[in-house]
Chain A
Amino acid sequence: MNNLSIWQQLTEQSQMRWREVLEATSVHIQLVFFSMLIAIILGVFLGILVTRVPKLTTLVLGGTGVMQTIPSLALLGFMIPIFGIGVKTAIAALFLYSLLPIARNTYAGISDVDPATREAAKGMGMTSMQILFKVELPLAIPVIMAGIRTAAVINVGNATLAAFIGAGGLGDFIFLGITRGIDGLILLGAIPAALLAIILEVFFSSVERWTTPKGLKV
């Protein structure tokens, strides 16, 4: 088998394992989806929180920043004692990893709102909540979306490592390929993962454009 060219290997492997690939892709998407969902909810919340409570800025942004510096594989390892082996652990680690770009961009997006706009809003009698939802968030949306996009794309790549802790996903084929020395098998995991990343990138880019208020584009 090892004498075959990489393309022949890929064709052969995909004919043999296409059902498994579909299944793994679905697991992969689930890993990304759920970790992102939690990261978006919590990240946006934390981002808003630190604009309201400046004292927490260093703690939150520093803390999520530290998470980012931990190698992804190590982070997955740290999670095992807490969540055991499997999907939960992977989602927890991927979530922590995605938190920083989202929280940081939410914070930056809101902080970048022109102070004059905020002063006018307050001076006209808007409450703090009205300012947040009518002014700050709409104006920060493009920046927040950019953070989500970055997080999502990194997340797809990191999710391949989930295979190490038995969470499945497209990483299964990559590691199988590495251990068995079958390059085609590696591609069988890598190509769908890369496609997934590209699709997410394109998707979030359009969401970003679509959510940017018209008044900012003129």
Chain B
Amino acid sequence: MLKFENVSKVYDDGFKAVDSVSFEIPKGELLVLIGPSGSGKSTTMKMINRMQPHTSGKISINGKDNKSYVASDLRRSIGYVIQQIGLFPHYTIEKNISIVPELNGWGPEKIKPRVNELLELVGLDPKIYANRYPKELSGGQQQRVGIARALASDPEIILMDEPFSALDPLTREQLQGELISLQKKLNKTIIFVTHDMDEALKMGDRIAIMKDGKLLQLDTPEKLLHEPAHGFVEEFIGKHRIIQNPELMPVIDIMSESVVTSLPQSSPEKAISLIRQRKITDLIIVDESKNLLGIVSAYDVIKKVNNIRTIEELMQPISHILQDTASAKDAIIMMDESPFGLIPIVDEKNKVVGLVTRGSLLSALSSQWTDTETEVVAI
């Protein structure tokens, strides 16, 4: 659908804003371009509709070089949403949305119903808003109109340059959600520029991380988190560490690695002293090569200490286990059903590598939470 081949942008003074970037976006994908300021992410996006012409390489849309279009024709065929919204203050909402259809020569009989349809699509009642002026709308409502305006002539591609950055957090969250569901409905190809990692993880089918004009990595959010290809990528996403989204957080990040285990042949006395020492309620039973065998409850051991020879007699099988490839969300869901209130984490050979308890789950999540909280304050 959209293809970059070794695209660069070099300014007259020799500054390389974008440095030989190549990637391809299939139809219907929402690609997030992210990076620190000056990384070339906005420039990369603006080269698509030639708001910023590229100086070398090739950008093709459905196989056609974007330089083969007349610039204004090209732009009319691509939706464009900017951070500052940029509604025409002297036009009513209806006229603002009609701009591109009018430029494309649609008649009023076709435009009017389209405007109403779009206003409803972005959650604004046409009866109330069609004849208002931009100044009479809140920032969030204005950007809804901005999105409706970009969709007006049903373009295949939509460019969004930090569309929600200027909005308050609540409105931003709401519009992010609405854009996601809108995208599911309309299946547009969207290039979305942001500097906010949380937004990128939430919105992107794939995320492209840029720095100093170079594309460092382009992958799905999951892959980006688990296999950052570059130290900078790790650093850039690591700081935010994903945590508001447990789906993306690997369970190994929240488990405790020091698991108190015991061999099944162990005597009950020895087990009790271990239980007291480590202040635990359940003992994980493993064989010599750390393979998970079962679980023994501390309560049972203390009660039956005189009736047994080895703790193997009290061992129960454990059904709630997670692989080390699982996510924190899996652990949260499973924790509810787990009869012991804990989940051993095993590798592919059934070897115990860690343990998630209600406590470790809570403290992991809350420490992440407070981390992000302080970050917000620091900004």
Instruction: Mark A residues whose CB is within 8 Å of B.
Output: 114-127, 130, 134-135, 138-139, 213-216, 218
Contacts and interface: CB of A to CB of B under 8 A. Distances in A.
B136 interface: yes
Nearest to B152: A124
B90 A214 contact: yes
Given A123-B49, A126-B103, A218-B135, A116 B72 contact: no
B51 A126 contact: no
B91 A116 contact: no
Given A123-B51, A123-B75, A127-B72, A114 B86 contact: yes
A120 B89 contact: no
Contact of B87 (A117, A130, A214): A117
Interface string B69-110: 000111111001010111111111000000110010000000
B80 A215 contact: no
B133 interface: yes
Contact of B90 (A115, A119, A122, A139): A139
Contact of A124 (B75, B84, B85): B75
Nearest to B80: A123
B76 A125 contact: yes
25 contacts: A114-B84, A116-B84, A116-B86, A117-B86, A117-B87, A117-B88, A117-B89, A119-B86, A120-B146, A123-B49, A123-B80, A123-B159, A124-B99, A125-B75, A125-B77, A135-B88, A138-B90, A139-B90, A213-B89, A215-B89, A215-B90, A215-B91, A215-B134, A216-B135, A218-B135
B149 interface: yes
B149 A218 contact: no
Contacts of B92: 215
Contacts of B134: 215
Contacts, number: 79
Nearest to A118: B86
Contacts of A134: 88
A119 B82 contact: yes
B351 to A, nearest CB: 57
Interface residues of B, number: 29
A103 B73 CA distance: 33
A124 B71 CA distance: 10
B74 A116 contact: no
B86 A125 contact: no
Contacts of B86: 114, 116-121, 123
B133 A214 contact: yes
Given A214-B90, A216-B89, A218-B136, A120 B82 contact: yes
Contacts of B149: 124
Contacts of A215: 88-92, 133-135
A211 B143 CA distance: 27
Given A114-B89, A215-B92, A216-B135, 9 more contacts: A114-B86, A119-B51, A120-B87, A122-B75, A125-B74, A127-B72, A213-B89, A215-B134, A218-B135
A122 B50 CA distance: 10
A134 B103 CA distance: 11
A216 B73 CA distance: 30
A127 B82 CA distance: 19
A48 to B, nearest CB: 18
A113 to B, nearest CB: 9
Contacts of B100: 124-125
Contacts of B72: 125-127
A124 B76 contact: yes
For B90, B133, B136, the residue with the greatest tally of chain A CB atoms inside 10 Å of its CB is B90
B99 to A, nearest CB: 6
Contacts of A124: 75-76, 80, 99-100, 103, 149
Contacts of B135: 215-216, 218
A120 B88 CA distance: 9
A123 B191 CA distance: 14
Contacts of A218: 133, 135-136
Contacts of B49: 123
Contact of B82 (A123, A125, A139, A214): A123
Contacts of A114: 84, 86, 89
B84 A139 contact: no
Nearest to A214: B133
B313 to A, nearest CB: 75
A5 B196 CA distance: 82
Contacts of B76: 124-125
A170 B134 CA distance: 49
Nearest to A213: B90
A127 B84 CA distance: 21
Interface in B24-78: 49, 51, 72-77
B80 A120 contact: yes
Contacts of A125: 72-77, 100, 103
B264 to A, nearest CB: 70
A150 to B, nearest CB: 23
For A118, A121, A124, the residue with the greatest tally of chain B CB atoms inside 10 Å of its CB is A124
B257 to A, nearest CB: 52
A107 B52 CA distance: 25
